[in-house]
Amino acid sequence: MWLLAVLWLAGCGATPSTSTPKQSEESVPATPPEVEPVARFPDSLAAKDLPPLLVPLRVHELYQEAEYAAQRLARDIRAYQAADRATQAMEEPSEKQLESLQASLKRVEQDLNKLGHIVNSIEVKGGDPTAYRRYRRVIESSMFTGSASEALIPIETWKQRYNSREYWISRARKWLWLLPVWLIAWVSAFTLSRVVRRWLIHSENFSVLFRKFAVRAVRRFVWACAILVSLSVLGIRTGPLLTALGAAGLVLGLALQNALGNLVNGLLLMVYRPFDVGDRVNAAGTEGFVQHVGLVSTTLHSIGHELITVPNSVMWNTVITNRTGLARRWLIQTVAIRHGSNVEQATKVIESVLAEAEWVLESDDVEVGIDHVDEWGIHMTVRCWCRTEEYWDCWYGVYPQVLSRLEAAGIEVAIPQRELVILQKRGDLPGHDPDDADEERPEEDGEGPDGNEEPPAGDAAAS
C-alpha cells in the first residue's frame, strides 16, 4: 500500500509543466528551425533604423529575417572578395575601382549590423539565435572591421602584398618620381619669389613688411602644393587629410583666439602700414626702431640697445607715433638771451647760422622769433626744416653754433641764476665800532650828516 502511494506521488511530481523551462547557459543550444528567408524591409534601409521596425515581429518572423540577413551577408562578402582580388591584381587601380571596393565594404558593415540587431531581438523575445550569433562572430574575427571609409582587408592579403617583389618595385618607382616633383617645386618657389619681390619693389604702394610677408607666403604656398602632389604620387589620398587638417584648424582656432587676433592684427599692420622696418616709433608705452613684424608680434630695437617684443593686437589697438615716417621733420629749438639784449641783432645772427648750416633745408619756412619773456630772460624759438635721417645731426649741430655766434656778437645767453642783495645796519657792518654810532649822529634831531632828514627807524630796519 505504502509503495503504491509513493509511486503515485512521484508520478505526479514528474508531470511536465506547461511553461517552458529556462535553458541553462552551459547546455548546448538547440538548432533554429528550418525557415524560408523573407525580406520585409528594403536592403537600402540603414542599420540604425532597423530596431524600431523589429518590435512588432514575432519569433518565427524574426527567424525569417535573420536567415535572409545571413544569406545577404554571405553574398556581399563574396562580392567584396572578388572585387578585392581584382584590385590587388592591378598595379595601379583606378579611383572608380577603389570607390566600388569601399562601397562593397560598407554593405558588409551594414549587413553585420543588421544581423546583430535581429539576433538581439530574437533573444529578447525568447528565441535561440546562437547559430546566427556564431556565424556573425566568425565573419568579424576573420576580417578587420573599421569605419565605412576604411578598408576591411584580410590579414593574409596584407602579408602577401608586403612580401611581393612587384609591390616594392612599384613603391620604388613612386619614390623616384618624387625627385622631379621636388626639383620643379624648388625652381618654382625660387622663380616666383623673385618675380613677386621685383614687382613689389617697383611698386611704391607696398611696405617692406608686406614685401617680405608676400615673398614668404608665395614660397610656402609652392612647397605646400609640392607636398600634396608628393602624397598623391605615393598613393596617399589627400582628401581625408585636408578634411582632418580643416577640423584641427577649427579646433585650434577656437582654442587660440588671442593668437588668431594677433595674426589678423599683424596682417592689418602690413596692409595699412603705419610704420615700416627701420622706422622709429613710439607705441604701447615704448619707443624704438622697428626690426621685424611677424604674424604674432612686432619686434622693436630700443634706443638703449634693448630688444622689445610687442603683441600685434596691442600694437594695433594703441596710438602709434612714427617719428621717421615722413621725408622731413620740423626742428624746434629754444634759445634764451638776457634782458636788455638786442633782439633784432640776435634774430639776424640766428638766421645767418641757419642759412649756413648744411642740415637745414633751403626753404622760406625758417622762423625765428620771441616765444615768451620771464624772469630769466627773453626766450626765442628757432624753427627750421631738415631731413628725417639728419634730424639729430641738425639738432646737435645748430645749437652750439647759435650759442657761439651770439657770444661773438656780444649777446649774453640767459643762464638761470639769482642775485641776493643784503642790507645791514651800520653797527652790524664788519670793522665798525658800535660805540661810535652816537658820536657820528648829528646834534640836531631829525637831520642826517648831510643835512637831510633821517628816515624813521622802522624804515631803516625795513631797508
> Does residue 299 sit in the same domain as residue 356?
no
- Among residues 143, 162, 181, the one where a domain terminates is 162
237: domain CATH number is 1.10.287
Cβ atoms of 112 and 77 closer than 8 Å:
no
* Domain contains 418: no
* Chain segment 170-207, per-residue pLDDT in tens: 778 778 888 888 898 889 888 888 888 888 877 766 76
Distance in angstroms (rounded) separating the CA atoms of residues 137 and 133: 6
* Domain contains 37: no
Task: Using only the alpha carbons of the chain, give its radius of gyration.
Answer: 51
Residue appearing with cell numbers 618620381 = 177
- Among residues 117, 139, 162, the one where a domain terminates is 162
Give the cell for residue 205: 604702394
Residues facing residue 286 across a β-bridge: 283
> Does residue 251 sit in the same domain as residue 171?
yes
Amino acid (1-letter code) at residue 195: V
For residue 384, with 0-12 CB atoms within 10 Å meaning exposed, 13-18 middle and 19 or more buried, which class applies? buried
Q: What is the four-CA torsion angle of 313, 316, 322, 324, rounded to 10 degrees? A: 70
- Among residues 237, 255, 273, the one where a domain terminates is 255
> Does residue 133 sit in the same domain as residue 213?
no
> Does residue 62 sit in the same domain as residue 138?
yes
> Does residue 61 sit in the same domain as residue 157?
yes
Structural domain containing residue 285? 259-322
373: domain CATH number is 3.30.70.100
> Does residue 291 sit in the same domain as residue 332?
no
* Domain contains 38: no
* Domain contains 39: no
* Domain contains 15: no
> Does residue 354 sit in the same domain as residue 296?
no
If the chain, 463 residues long, is cut into consecutive pieces of 10 residues, what is the mean pLDDT of each piece? 39 38 37 67 83 85 86 86 79 74 84 88 86 82 48 46 67 82 88 85 72 83 87 76 77 71 81 84 89 85 89 89 88 89 90 88 80 88 90 89 90 79 63 53 48 45 36
276: domain CATH number is 2.30.30.60
> Does residue 181 sit in the same domain as residue 241?
yes
CB-CB neighbours of 184 under 10 Å: 13
Confidence (pTM): 0.42
What is the pLDDT, as a whole number, of residue 300? 92
Contacts 24+ apart (CB under 8 A), 104-108: 104/76, 104/79, 104/80, 105/80, 105/148, 105/150, 105/151, 105/152, 106/148, 107/76, 107/79, 107/80, 108/73, 108/76, 108/77, 108/80, 108/143, 108/152
Distance in angstroms (rounded) separating the CA atoms of residues 260 and 312: 10
* Domain contains 10: no
> Does residue 397 sit in the same domain as residue 311?
no
> Does residue 266 sit in the same domain as residue 230?
no
* Domain contains 57: yes
> Does residue 145 sit in the same domain as residue 63?
yes
> Does residue 141 sit in the same domain as residue 153?
yes
* Domain contains 100: yes
Number of domains in the chain: 5
Give the cell for residue 110: 551594414
